[in-house]
C-alpha cells in the first residue's frame, strides 16, 4: 500500500474528526485525509463509516475513499481532495451576503446531490447527514455560473452518520442505536432512532432550504437563535412548518421550488419521494431555461 505524508494545517473539522491535506509519497499527488481519533469514536461507529464510505465510493458524485490506515490512536481515511471546500462555505456563507443563491444554481446543485444519493443508496447506504457542509466542490472559488453549469463537480462526503440497508426498498426502516447526525437536519423518524432512505430526501429538502434561504435551516430555535436548544429545534422538525418567506425583501420562491421542498419535508417518510423520484420533479429539469421549470 502506498504511504502518505500529512501536510500541516486543517482544511476542515467536525465533531470528532479533523481533515488535513496529504501527499502520496510515490508521486506527490494530493488528497484529503480525515483523522478519526480512536479515543473519541467507538470502534463500531468507525467501522460503519468505513464500510459505508467504501460502498458509496462507486459513485462519481462522492469524494472517493482512496485508502485507509491506522495507528494506535487514529484511523486515517485518505480521500479525493475537493479543492473548492464545502457548499456551505461557497454558496451559503459567501454569496448570500450579497444575494441568495438563485434558483437555477440551487436546482443544478440539488440535482448533482440527488444523483450522488441515488448511487449511494443503490450501493446500500443511507447517508444520514445530508447538509451543505457535507457537500464538496471540486473547483476552487467557483462562480455561480460554474456551479449552475456543472463545470464545478459537486461531491458528497462524510459517511459518519450513515446506515447500511439492502439497497432496494426506499421505504425500508432501519433501527439505529445511537442518534447521529446534525440536530437541525435530522428527519422526524430519525429522532425515534429509525432511518430510511427517505431520511436522505428530508436532508435534500433541508439543503435546498439552506441554499434558497441564506443558509438558514428549516427548523430553528426562533427565540434563542444564538444559543439554540435542541428540543426547540426538534419540536419544529416534528410538528412545525418551515418559514419559506418571512423576511421583508426576501425574493419570492417559485411555486416549483416550494413544491419540491414541501414534498421533501413531508413529516411521514413514506409520503416523501425517493431520491430517484425527486430527480423527476419539474424544478430540477435540466433545460432550466424552459418557462415551466422556472415558474412551476
Q: Binding of Mg ion at residue 221 (CB under 5 A)?
A: no
Find which of Mg ion, ligand ATP, none residue 17 binds, CB within 5 to 8 Å per kind: ligand ATP
Output the smallest distance, CB 207 to ligand ATP, in A.
13
Output the smallest distance, CB 69 to ligand ATP, in A.
16
Task: Please name the residue that has the C-alpha cell 460554474.
Answer: 146
Q: Could you give phi then psi for residue 269, rounded to 5 degrees?
A: -55, -45
Q: Binding of ligand ATP at residue 86 (CB under 6 A)?
A: yes
Q: Show the cell assigned to 278.
A: 425527486
Q: Binding of Mg ion at residue 12 (CB under 5 A)?
A: no
Pairing of strands 17-24, 4-13: antiparallel
> Which residue stretch of 16-24, 98-106, 145-153, 194-202 sits at the interface with ligand ATP (rule: CB under 6 A)?
16-24
Q: Binding of ligand ATP at residue 160 (CB under 6 A)?
A: yes
Work out which of 41, 57, 134, 199 binds ligand ATP, going by CB under 6 A: 134
Q: Binding of ligand ATP at residue 63 (CB under 6 A)?
A: yes
Ramachandran bin of 20, using left for φ above 0, alpha for ψ from -120 to 50, beta for the remaining angles? beta
Residues of span 22-41 touching ligand ATP by CB under 6 A: 32, 34
Q: Binding of Mg ion at residue 49 (CB under 5 A)?
A: no
Residues of span 197-236 touching ligand ATP by CB under 6 A: none
Find which of Mg ion, ligand ATP, none residue 51 binds, CB within 5 to 8 Å per kind: none
> Which residue stretch of 11-19, 113-121, 189-197, 239-247 sits at the interface with ligand ATP (rule: CB under 6 A)?
11-19
Q: Show the cell assigned to 107.
A: 436546482
Q: Binding of Mg ion at residue 14 (CB under 5 A)?
A: yes
CB 275 within 8 A of CB 197: yes
Give the nearer residue to ligand ATP in terms of CB position, either 119 or 129: 129
Output the smallest distance, CB 181 to ligand ATP, in A.
8
Contact residues: ligand ATP, CB under 6 A: 11-17, 19, 32, 34, 63, 79-82, 85-86, 129, 133-134, 136, 157-158, 160
Amino acid at each position: 500500500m502506498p504511504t502518505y505524508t500529512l501536510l500541516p494545517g486543517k482544511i476542515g473539522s467536525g465533531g470528532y474528526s479533523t481533515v488535513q491535506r496529504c501527499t502520496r509519497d510515490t508521486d506527490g499527488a494530493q488528497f484529503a485525509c480525515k483523522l478519526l481519533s480512536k479515543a473519541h469514536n467507538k470502534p463500531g461507529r468507525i467501522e460503519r463509516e468505513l464500510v459505508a464510505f467504501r460502498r458509496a465510493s462507486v459513485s462519481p458524485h462522492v469524494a472517493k475513499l482512496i485508502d485507509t490506515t491506522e495507528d494506535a490512536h487514529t484511523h486515517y481515511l485518505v480521500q479525493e481532495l475537493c479543492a473548492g471546500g464545502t457548499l456551505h462555505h461557497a454558496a451559503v456563507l459567501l454569496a448570500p451576503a450579497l444575494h441568495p443563491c438563485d434558483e437555477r444554481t440551487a436546482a443544478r446543485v440539488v440535482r448533482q446531490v440527488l444523483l450522488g444519493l441515488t448511487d449511494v443508496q443503490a450501493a446500500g447506504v443511507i447517508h444520514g447527514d445530508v447538509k451543505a457542509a457535507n457537500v464538496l466542490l471540486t473547483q476552487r472559488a467557483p462562480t455561480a455560473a460554474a456551479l449552475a453549469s456543472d463545470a464545478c463537480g459537486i461531491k458528497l462526503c462524510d459517511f459518519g452518520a450513515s446506515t447500511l440497508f439492502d439497497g432496494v426498498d426506499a421505504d425500508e426502516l432501519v433501527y439505529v442505536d445511537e442518534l447521529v447526525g446534525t440536530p437541525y437536519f435530522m428527519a422526524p423518524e430519525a429522532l425515534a432512532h429509525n432511518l430510511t432512505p427517505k431520511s436522505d430526501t428530508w436532508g435534500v429538502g433541508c439543503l435546498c432550504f439552506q441554499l434558497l434561504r441564506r443558509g438558514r435551516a428549516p427548523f430553528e430555535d426562533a427565540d434563542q437563535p444564538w444559543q439554540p436548544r435542541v428540543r426547540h429545534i426538534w419540536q419544529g422538525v416534528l410538528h412545525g412548518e418551515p418559514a419559506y418567506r418571512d423576511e421583508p425583501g426576501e425574493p419570492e420562491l417559485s411555486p416549483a421550488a416550494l413544491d419540491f421542498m414541501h414534498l421533501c419535508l413531508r413529516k411521514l417518510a413514506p409520503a416523501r419521494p425517493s431520491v430517484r423520484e425527486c430527480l423527476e420533479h419539474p424544478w430540477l429539469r435540466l433545460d432550466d431555461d424552459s418557462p415551466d421549470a422556472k415558474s412551476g
